[in-house]
Structure 1
Amino acid sequence: MLNFFRSQSATAKDDVLSGLTVALALVPEAIAFAFVAGVSPIIGLYSAFFIGLITAIFGGRPGMISGATGAMAVVVVALVATQGIEYLFPTVILCGLIQVIVGTARLGKLIRLVPHPVMLGFVNGLAIVIGMAQFSSFQTYDFAAGKLTMLTGMPLVLMLAMVTLTMAIIWLLPKYTKSIPASLVAILSVTFLSLAVNAAFASNGTNVIATVGDMLTTKATAVAADPMNVDPVSISGGLPRPFFLQYSVPPMTLETLWIIFPFALTLTGVGLIESLMTLSLIDEITETRGRGNRECIGQGAANIVCGLFGGMGGCAMIGQSLINVNSGGRGRLSGITAAVCLLLFILFLAPLIERIPMAALVGVMFMVVIGTFEWASLKMFHRMPLSDMAVMVLVAGYTVVMHDLASAVILGVIVSALVFSWKHALHLGADIQTNEFGSKIYQLHGPLFFASVSSFKEMFDPASDPDDVVIDFYYTRVYDQSALEAINMLAEKYQSLGKRLHLTHLSSECRSLLDRAGHFVEVNVSEDPQYHVATDRLG
């Protein structure tokens, strides 16, 4: 990653300024995701406020930004389309309750199961997805064609020039001063410049450089049944109110639960996976450690409150989190500032925010893309194992094609686990010798689990072995039920031949399973080793 993600100490000034920068970038993102979910833009904005504020206060990762996200929006759009918006809010509340249960049960530690190649693929795929998403800002609505089309001519040239200028400011300003976030300076500078350009060249009320307000109208026009009669869209609104004062409440019955539970469960998984992966990424960048279980509880509480006030739910926002870190935000104050500023924008400053050029926000996000992509991974192709490289490419490719970060991570973990199992299935072996009493001793080496069971069975020849056989498990570990059953079946074979089998250094689980082998099985309890497992202290 580039140097602007360098580790630095947190200060209140940096947190406040970076929070303001993030708030400016949150506006178009929240609005865009609201359109994806099929709800009003104001719902997306208030969702970003509630999720951002509560997770900043109670979450497990200072400096991480949460809000309304595309991953969650893609899940709820089907629910809103088929059942109506009134079913959305109980679904979000139920999602929050499940997330709190997950955090309370200390299951956040499961993020440790994500291998590094999956993390690399996730980060690289995410960078590509964020970059591709910015190209929608280069579109305008063509009334003659009745669809969105790419900018051409002078509007395209000006857009590209403004994006380039934004990126140049973010790149060059830290070389001279770090007292003010470069992203904030870039947004403000390009905004003033675009105001001057639009004032000089605007015709018929149309801006030559598209603004946030133009983006709102373009999005609304694209989804409207009659694009010719779309009123200008505004992000202004009053204070949020509980959903049951604004919408009809669905019946609280088992039928309703049956409808919303699958969506709530999916939202839970998507939200937690994306948030915990973001937490790990910010941990790596800032060289600090967040608390996964606390993040689960904080995010769950945020979704409960968000649902109560008519929000669409949310989770960690990777792009905005990286903007915050890039701008110097390290503490909880940065996330709190971003949420509070977003609320102030909605209540008092909507007309000003709508005049920010989309080019400035696109330029900021392009710099996030450059900083997010793990460029060093391109040099590792010839150094890392082929299987790890394949997993990294698979996760990145799935993320780019399907735009589903949670599924990409799950797929990567599954493939990595299968590769790990296959490799370790080949590591089981045995040293065989005969002692002075004529007993044959098999000293096992390597893990014994479902994938190595076949190799385990092939090591023994009960018919040819002497009457007294010893299997020593001191240098191996028995991991699952498949291994336990293989041991039991082997003991039964020796038993059926009237031969004695001694199994030493077995765990208590193995001994319990093998008790039915009777006096033909002798377990040396006194030499059983102690097995140590991970505790919850790090969760």
Structure 2
Amino acid sequence: MLSALRRSIQSKPSYQDIQANVLAGLTVGVIALPLSMALAIASGVPPQHGLYTAIVAGFVISLTGGSKVNISGPTAAFVVILLPIVHQFGIGGLLVSGFMAGFILILMGVGKLGKLIEIVPYPVTVGFTSGIGVVIATLQIKDFLGLSIESSGGHYLHKLSAIFLALPSIEWKETLISVLTLTILIVWPKCHSKIPGHLVALLVGSLTAWVLSLYLPGFSVATIGSRFSFDILGVIGSGIPPSLPVFDWPWHLASADGSPIGFSFELVRRLLPSAITIAILGSLESLLCSVVADGMSGKKHNPNDELIGQGIGNIISPLFGGLPATAAIARTAANIRSGGNLPLSSVIHALFILVSILLLAPLLSYIPMASMAALLLMVAWNMGEAKHFIRTVKIAPKDDVFVLILCFLLTVLFDMTVAVAVGMGLAAMLFIRRSVSLAQTATIEGNHAEYDMPENTVVYDINGPLFFGSAQKALKTIASVRPDIRIVILDMSEVTLLDMSAIVAMESIVDDLQNKNIGIIINNLQPRMVLKLNRAGIGEASANAIFSKTLDESFEVARNMSQLKRPIL
């Protein structure tokens, strides 16, 4: 805990470092302000909850996590998970899920699961992130075109069908503002300006909508102020409340029917799958961001501390109305490019958003929903990783392409939980299949000039890992030896793994050969695996097999055994 902060203090930052990190924090704050609102809206909750997430989680995680440069807050990856939770359980259920996910993240960090990112296959990651991008983009079409759609619930195909049916209701005013915003988002980066493109795009979109409403009769578009309202201590207002985040237990907030969701074992049981999904995705996103940040900054993060910090942040964030949070790759990259190299930049970014809420809340309410939809379309495009998707399809093995496309389709048509679970399971099976092919048994029989072997002896050269998937394949040929064979030598020099399935298979082979009066010698097996076989009753006290260290030693033992009428030990 406090590892990043402690390391930063111990490094004794200079005045120039502090100045650079303050400026980087302000830059990232400008970027995070509209993004946090947009991602909250995309998740089905009022925009201030996204801002609360950036403030609380951004502040806490920067001080307790394992990376000096990560910027944490709401991210696009969570949208496809959070939106169904909001529809089913309301804002209260969403915050309880995030609260539970925080404890799971801490357990993952304490359990040293910080290397989790290394076991997730690349096709799985690209598949579900591309799928998330498609889903987010689809959800923005309604506000982008100003369509009149009564319900946004249901599965993906249902939502897509509703969009097509609503196309005749397209609003040119909304479309004008959204196209203008999107055009600036696309063109602005080519100007190589230090001013964030989405800030310019939202300013132009908002000003254009305001000016046109003054000079064109009947011109109006939906804005944050017209779409959302708040009630604080009886004071009702529109848009974003100009107040600090307030502490409240998440189970006091509303369920899907508007009443307080409460806290019960049944609620925990129902929300546990969602909490686990949030924790897994949050850990993957944060660790992936940390790896990218290490490459950009030249620093080294502590993955287990990062998980613990993310857990603490996700426990505290819901207590102040914040959504589940994770490290954000785009904001972290902007932080590093702006000179951020200390947790101070993340703290400044959180404070900037806090001050913005207090001072700019009325102005933020004028941002058109069409402009926010255009911003989220750009986020979805960047997240979709179309280049990586196409490149993987072109150059990857067929099995990996199949995993990629399956994860993509499952994410789009069902949800990310199913996609990751099936993708990981399928990738594991493909890995097992590939590992099975590595385990081979080659037969080297007696009287060959290059081997000074006794008569009636056969050597089986066993290679690769022997586990539940490969043991039977590698060892099945040993069970059927010719009648004239009196001694079997198993050369296991290249065996790297021996699990319980392989041990049981070995027991069966030893018993079978012993019943046939055939001696067995096991050569050059690693000591740790010899110990496993000894514990299973193979060799040593049971005297049903002999262990040797070299093939020459095996042949010498075989010759001595051949001189006996019964070579069995």
Distance of aligned partners of 1:335 and 1:411 in 2 relative to their CA distance in 1, 3 Å threshold: farther
Distance (whole Å) between structure 2 residues aligned to residue 144 and residue 441 of structure 1: 74
Letter in 1 for 2:200: V
SS of residue in 2 equivalent to 1:448: coil
Letter in 2 for 1:16: L
| 1:60-459 equivalences in 2 (<5 Å) | 60-61=66-67, 62-67=69-74, 69-71=78-80, 73-74=82-83, 76-77=85-86, 80=89, 85=92, 92-138=98-144, 140=146, 152-174=170-192, 177=193, 179-201=194-216, 203=218, 208-216=220-228, 233-236=238-241, 238-243=243-248, 247=252, 256-257=264-265, 259-261=267-269, 263-264=271-272, 266-277=274-285, 279-280=287-288, 283-284=291-292, 287-288=295-296, 290-309=301-320, 311=321, 313-316=323-326, 321-322=329-330, 325=333, 328=337, 331=341, 332-372=343-383, 373-404=385-416, 406-433=417-444, 434=446, 435-438=452-455, 439-459=457-477
SS of residue in 1 equivalent to 2:395: coil
Match of 1:469 among 488, 496, 505: 488
Distance of aligned partners of 1:79 and 1:99 in 2 relative to their CA distance in 1, 3 Å threshold: farther
Residue 27 (structure 1) shift: 1.3
Aligned partners of 1:158 and 1:209 also within 8 Å? no
Partner of 1:252: none
Letter in 2 for 1:520: N
Partner of 1:21: 31
Q: Deviations over 1:221-250 (max 9, x none)?
A: xxxxxxxxxx8643205433432599499x
Distance of aligned partners of 1:71 and 1:51 in 2 relative to their CA distance in 1, 3 Å threshold: farther
Specify which structure has the bigger relative contact order, considering alpha-carbon pairs within 8 angstroms and separated by 6 or more residues. 1
Distance (whole Å) between structure 1 residues aligned to residue 94 and residue 182 of structure 2: 40
Of the two, which has the highest radius of gyration? 2
Distance of aligned partners of 1:284 and 1:153 in 2 relative to their CA distance in 1, 3 Å threshold: same
Aligned partners of 1:103 and 1:293 also within 8 Å? yes
Residue 112 (structure 1) shift: 0.6
Is 2:503 the counterpart of 1:484?
A: yes
Distance of aligned partners of 1:284 and 1:468 in 2 relative to their CA distance in 1, 3 Å threshold: same
Letter in 1 for 2:210: L
Distance of aligned partners of 1:247 and 1:371 in 2 relative to their CA distance in 1, 3 Å threshold: closer
Distance (whole Å) between structure 2 residues aligned to residue 304 and residue 278 of structure 1: 16
Partner of 2:56: 50
Match of 1:511 among 519, 522, 531: 531
Letter in 1 for 2:513: Y
Distance of aligned partners of 1:44 and 1:286 in 2 relative to their CA distance in 1, 3 Å threshold: same
Distance (whole Å) between structure 2 residues aligned to residue 341 and residue 136 of structure 1: 31
Residue 352 (structure 1) shift: 0.7
Distance of aligned partners of 1:462 and 1:233 in 2 relative to their CA distance in 1, 3 Å threshold: farther
Aligned partners of 1:104 and 1:293 also within 8 Å? yes
Q: Deviations over 1:486-519 (max 9, x none)?
A: 1222122122333322223334245334441310
| TM-score normalised to structure 1 length | 0.77
Distance (whole Å) between structure 1 residues aligned to residue 48 and residue 181 of structure 2: 27
103-112 or 375-384, which deviates more: 375-384
Residue 105 (structure 1) shift: 1.5
21-30 or 279-288, which deviates more: 279-288
Q: Deviations over 1:352-383 (max 9, x none)?
A: 11112334433333333444424154245343
Letter in 2 for 1:108: G
Distance (whole Å) between structure 2 residues aligned to residue 79 and residue 144 of structure 1: 17
Letter in 2 for 1:30: A
Residue 101 (structure 1) shift: 1.7
SS of residue in 2 equivalent to 1:108: coil
Unpaired runs of at least 5, structure 1: 1-8, 221-230, 250-254, 528-539
SS of residue in 2 equivalent to 1:381: helix
SS of residue in 1 equivalent to 2:228: helix
Distance of aligned partners of 1:264 and 1:379 in 2 relative to their CA distance in 1, 3 Å threshold: closer
SS of residue in 1 equivalent to 2:521: strand
Aligned partners of 2:53 and 2:325 also within 8 Å? no
Aligned partners of 1:213 and 1:233 also within 8 Å? yes
The RMSD of aligned alpha carbons is 3.8
Letter in 2 for 1:201: L
Letter in 1 for 2:361: A
Residue 385 (structure 1) shift: 1.0
Distance of aligned partners of 1:383 and 1:519 in 2 relative to their CA distance in 1, 3 Å threshold: same
SS of residue in 1 equivalent to 2:438: coil
14-23 or 271-280, which deviates more: 271-280
Distance (whole Å) between structure 2 residues aligned to residue 256 and residue 131 of structure 1: 36
Distance (whole Å) between structure 1 residues aligned to residue 107 and residue 195 of structure 2: 40
Unpaired runs of at least 5, structure 2: 1-16, 153-161, 231-235, 255-262, 447-451, 552-569
Residue 290 (structure 1) shift: 4.5
| 1:487-498 equivalences in 2 (<5 Å) | 487-498=506-517
Aligned partners of 2:95 and 2:324 also within 8 Å? no
SS of residue in 2 equivalent to 1:459: helix
124-133 or 145-154, which deviates more: 145-154
Residue 393 (structure 1) shift: 1.1
Residue 305 (structure 1) shift: 1.4
Q: Deviations over 1:132-174 (max 9, x none)?
A: 2322323658599999956634314413432343224433321
Distance (whole Å) between structure 2 residues aligned to residue 88 and residue 26 of structure 1: 16
Distance (whole Å) between structure 2 residues aligned to residue 377 and residue 137 of structure 1: 27
Distance of aligned partners of 1:514 and 1:464 in 2 relative to their CA distance in 1, 3 Å threshold: farther
Q: Deviations over 1:448-492 (max 9, x none)?
A: 222223322322125636332211211122243222221222122
Aligned partners of 1:137 and 1:362 also within 8 Å? yes
Distance of aligned partners of 1:213 and 1:525 in 2 relative to their CA distance in 1, 3 Å threshold: farther
SS of residue in 1 equivalent to 2:469: helix
SS of residue in 2 equivalent to 1:355: coil
| TM-score normalised to structure 2 length | 0.73
Distance (whole Å) between structure 2 residues aligned to residue 209 and residue 397 of structure 1: 34
